[in-house]
Chain A
Amino acid sequence: MTAQGEPVLTVRDLRVTFRTDDGPVSAVDSVSFDVRPGEVLAVVGESGCGKSVTAMSIAGLLPPSATVTGSVRLRDQELVGAPEPTLRRVRGAEVAYVFQEPMTSLNPVFTVGSQITETLRIHQKLSRKQALARAVELLALVGIPSPASRVGAYPHQFSGGMRQRVMIAMALACDPAVLVADEPTTALDVTVQAAVLDLLRDLGTRLGTAIVLITHDLGVVADIADRVLVMYAGRVVETGPTQELFDAPRHHYTLGLLGAVPTAGRRAAGGRLQEIPGLVPVLHEQPDACTFAERCPAADEQCRAGAPALEPRDTDPTTHRAACWHPADALLTKGR
């Protein structure tokens, strides 16, 4: 493990509700996690589980229709409810983002150099020249060939993978404490995905950046994450060190995601999530029940009557915790 010391980011009991025309939508419900410097925390779950909403709420980037409660602490600074100017100083400087679509996430009408220097000049007192020199350094850091000449090129003159490297350079410009990468490789060719992920992992370790990596891809998780947060319908259903979670998944949703019994490092069918019958529900209100009960093979009355807490195994308490009334490992033990 590369993680060291105190968490830089502490999220506690985060709840996000959207006001919509069809009434409130509860997108995130009592989510808690920590990330330490140099650590990679993977957030996994099917589409609509609330991964992106969680990510965006960290630096207060959700639209005004969202109501956020709970706590997001960056070291000693509370970010939930912080005023816009404070959040603006945090964004890009302390908490930086890399998004899924490198095609559209860069502004097509500005050179990549000017987009990187923009970040630098918002947060640091640098002359145009100094900022440009730093932008060239950053492009070199993320492995763009002949950065000095490429700094004046426009996004459309780069390939998808190179664009994502530019996005990473931009995100790392001010040496942020936390890097939130929301499906950074989903839109890329399989061949370049690994290279971009290695780059992220490597830079995170070298610069001591805490990385929150949102992904669909369990192969990615196994390769680079230190810890995993499995989300379902806005809640954390299981969390723990990658190896442990892959070796002994406890929540039936995690099991479904992994498809049968996986081993760490072995990619579930093509590295993609396994199909679980049914859909992630859109919840207007969080029920006092297990939200996965409708799709769970092990669900019973207890599951529909109360929400299980996120708890460690009672036999050997570790950081591996699951929110399930009938954890899979218990069933396995019983069955034997």
Chain B
Amino acid sequence: MRSYLLHRLWQSAVTLVLATIVVFLGVRALPGDPALAFAGEERDPASLAAIRERLGLNDSLVVQYGKFVLGALRGDLGTSTRTGIPVSTMIGTGLPVTIELSLLALLVAIVLGVTTGVVAAVRRGRPAEWFANALALLGLSVPNFWLGLIAILYLAVGLGLFPASGFVPFGEDPVANLHHLVLPALVLGTGIAAIVMRQTRSAMLESLGADYIRTARAKGASPRAVIGRHALRNSLVVVVTVVGLQLGILISGAVVTERIFGLPGFGKMTIDAVFQRDYPVIQGVVLVTAAAYILINFLVDVAYSLIDPRIRVAGGQS
């Protein structure tokens, strides 16, 4: 187990280093002169040169990369060319909002997806399965933004159950914070819930047909233990994989959802930065996203090895 985790940790570190290189070169490869963007209205060559010097653009790429990495390690990702606020400060305010939204959406996706998936598998061929399947189809085919708009229209504006937009930090007022995030989390979570449901259903059908289920029944285990303990535990490997694979959707979905509900998160920051060609912010945002992705993948692998003992051994031997 430990050697497996060390192995995965090492892999993650290498991936992270590669990610910093890609981010660094990617931003340099963008069309347009950062100095020009930074200078704004100022076009006089002398001040442009001064800006280049100040931004370190005259150094060789290697030196620039070294400075970028050292800065990033100290938490210094430069300053926004638009607002002059340090990028790390901007990320520090935006990221928690996105993380909270994503976690809540994931919670919605897992609770909704796993329960309907299990029900669909256990009640195979009965009305409950039809209902669960219809729900999944709906979740898959309805786009996020449309669901968001409908939710705002009916649940927020129409019935006034939830605020239509805005955000209150958790530290200020936890209840209001959650109240503001219920709709966005539901909207973002349902699409993923549908995918989780379908995978859970097929994994459960497979597990329920397995020999160890017959063994469990032959022991005198209750249906609840047979389904919830023996079959579900084996299906969780699939669920974790699916959730891991959906993280991309979660991140891009968060961007759209934040936009719709006016949440001051990472997504909104990213869109603004791209529209304003705010290179340091783009660079910081991409780097943090990549790091988050790598971290989450690592956590998914840890979850795997906790669920399925066979993976621990396989990893330990490699």
Contacts and interface: CB of A to CB of B under 8 A. Distances in A.
Interface of A: 59, 61, 88-93, 96-97, 99, 101, 104-111, 118-119, 122-123, 154, 156-157, 167, 170
24 contacts: A61-B214, A88-B221, A89-B220, A91-B217, A91-B218, A92-B219, A92-B221, A99-B215, A104-B211, A105-B212, A105-B215, A106-B212, A106-B215, A107-B212, A107-B216, A108-B212, A108-B234, A108-B310, A109-B233, A111-B309, A122-B220, A122-B225, A123-B220, A156-B309
A104 B309 contact: no
A137 B234 CA distance: 28
B1 to A, nearest CB: 12
B230 interface: yes
A54 to B, nearest CB: 15
A91 B225 CA distance: 14
Given A106-B212, A108-B309, A88 B222 contact: yes
B308 interface: yes
B212 A91 contact: no
Dominant secondary structure at the A interface: mixed
Nearest to B236: A109
A107 B229 CA distance: 10
Contacts, number: 75
Contacts of B225: 118, 122
A90 B307 contact: no
Dominant secondary structure at the B interface: helix
Contacts of A123: 220
B157 interface: no
A109 B309 contact: yes
B210 interface: yes
Contacts of B211: 99, 101, 104-105
B218 A61 contact: yes
Q: Which 10 A-B pairs have the closest CB atoms?
A: A92-B220, A91-B220, A92-B219, A104-B211, A107-B212, A97-B218, A154-B309, A105-B211, A88-B220, A119-B219
A110 B219 CA distance: 15
A108 B234 CA distance: 8
A59 B230 contact: no
Give the bracket for the number of chain B residues in contact with chain A.
20 to 34
B310 A99 contact: no
A326 B141 CA distance: 69
B220 to A, nearest CB: 4
Contacts of A101: 211
Nearest to B217: A61
Nearest to A103: B211
A111 B222 CA distance: 20
B21 interface: no
Contacts of A61: 214, 217-218
Interface string B207-246: 0001110111111111001000010011000000000000
Nearest to A116: B219
Contact of A154 (B210, B212, B219, B310): B310
Contact of A122 (B215, B219, B309, B313): B219
B125 to A, nearest CB: 11
Given A88-B222, A89-B220, A99 B309 contact: no
A80 to B, nearest CB: 17
A92 B308 CA distance: 26
B250 to A, nearest CB: 26
